[in-house]
Amino acid sequence: MWKKILTSMVIILSVTSISAFAQSTLPAPNATHEQSLDQIVAVVNDEIITQSELNHALTAAKQQFMQRQISLPDQKTFKKQVLDQLIYQKLQLQVAKHNQIKVTNNEINAAVARISQANHLSQTALKQKLTQEGISYKEFRSQLQKQLIISKLQHQALQDTISINKSDIAAFQKQHAGQIASTEYHIATILIPLPASATQAQINHAKGKAALVLKQLQKGSSFETAMKMHPGSADLGWRSAKELPQVFVKTVLKMKPNEVTGPIQAPNGFHIIKLLDKEAKNTVSDQQIQRIVYQQKVEKALQKWLTQLRSSAYIHIYADS
């Protein structure tokens, strides 16, 4: 369940911090004497990241990896990734403060309610779960406040830089054609019926009759007229391969539109089938594709923006960090 809480928070807020639920907040500029004695691992403009803060973030990140059953990278890489996320968080909060971006208690309350609802928990149960994980409700709201501020900042920074046009949608459809489209088949069948528990003689007779009908059709007889002459014949409409009668599938997949073939034996008799048409139909709507493409553009633009933000800042990471 806690895994779901972590996941839902990331999804709801669309934030970049790897330790959204880290059990400590970033140190304030007016650090206490106790904090000043803590080893400094990085300086970000006029603020610091301490060893204890990094340790808390590493612990929280490890818990998330374990809950999501994801293998940890090697210790050096993992430590660098977590420290990078703390640096990015610090940078974004600094910019947000400069731009006077704030969130209200009502916005925090609404985010808490969304997280509770997404995980089917009452807010009381959520508080209990946080306590079990060693996180106070106050710490939880503090982290949530920071993530909401960062989310607002990212939206403000990127909202006018991202647009989607028809060529973006078309390019996505072409690139993922095999994943978002499936072929549907429109077939009709002429049935030469067999009685239940048919004898071999009856089977041979029905098969011969079906072969004769097929021969007439191949000479130009109307398929629609032949359908009317044989009760049980039917237009099966549009169907995907998995929706077709199993005995038809292998044959239909090889057919071309307007092709007639048979006879195919089924439990109810012999079938002559005509593929009236086939077409690839998207299983993902244009609206869904638009959302996917938009999210991809957001992620790309966000990474570019964060890189620029970092390159313009003063950042010093101590060698033994």
Q: Which pLDDT score, from 0 to 100, does residue 6 have? A: 34
Q: How far is CA 299 from CA 15, 36, 65, 72, 153, in A?
A: 10, 36, 21, 23, 14
**What's residue 29's pLDDT?**
38
Which CATH superfamily does the domain covering 2-160+288-317 fall into?
Porin chaperone SurA, peptide-binding domain (1.10.4030.10)
Q: pLDDT tens across 155-188, in order?
A: 999 988 888 888 888 888 777 765 666 788 899 9
Class of domain 181-282: alpha beta
Place of tokens 């960090």: 321
Phi/psi for 250 (5° steps) reads -60, -40
The amino acid occupying position 92 is: Q
Share of residues in the chain with pLDDT > 70 (%): 86
Q: The sheet that has 40-44: what strands, in order across it? A: 47-50, 40-44, 315-317
Digit-coded pLDDT (tens) for 261-271: 888 888 888 99
Q: What is the pLDDT of residue 181?
A: 60
Q: How far is Cα 83 from Cα 80, in angstroms, rounded to an integer?
A: 5
- Give the pLDDT confidence score for residue 28 in this predicted structure: 38
**Residue 153's pLDDT is what?**
95
Supply the pLDDT for residue 177.
63
How many residues make up the chain in this entry? 321
Closest by CA position to 234, among listed 200, 199, 190: 190
Per-domain boundaries in the chain: 2-160+288-317, 181-282
**Residue (of 58, 91, 60) closest to 75 by Cα position:** 58
Convert the pLDDT of each residue in 73-103 to its tens digit. Answer: 889 999 999 999 999 999 999 999 999 999 9
Gap between the Cα atoms of 144 and 70, Å rounded: 24
Tokens of residue 152, six digits: 């607002």
Tell me, what amino acid is at 170?
A
pLDDT at residue 321, rounded to an integer: 64
Spell 135-146 as b/e; 16+ CB within 10 A means b: beeebbbebbbb
3-class secondary-structure state, position 260: strand
Half-sphere exposure of 312 toward its Cβ, with a 13 Å CA cutoff? 10
Long-range contacts of 202-205 (CB under 8 A, 24+ apart): 203/265
Q: What pLDDT is recorded for position 147?
A: 94
Distance set, CA 298 to CA 167, 242, 295 (Å)? 17, 36, 5
Same fold: 2-160+288-317 with 181-282: no
pLDDT of residue 43: 96
**Tell me, what DSSP letter sits at residue 38?**
S
Mean pLDDT by 10 residues, the chain (321 residues): 36 34 36 59 95 91 80 89 95 96 95 91 90 86 94 91 84 70 84 85 90 89 88 86 85 88 87 88 74 88 94 90 64
pLDDT given for residue 307 in this prediction? 94
pTM, two decimals, is 0.57
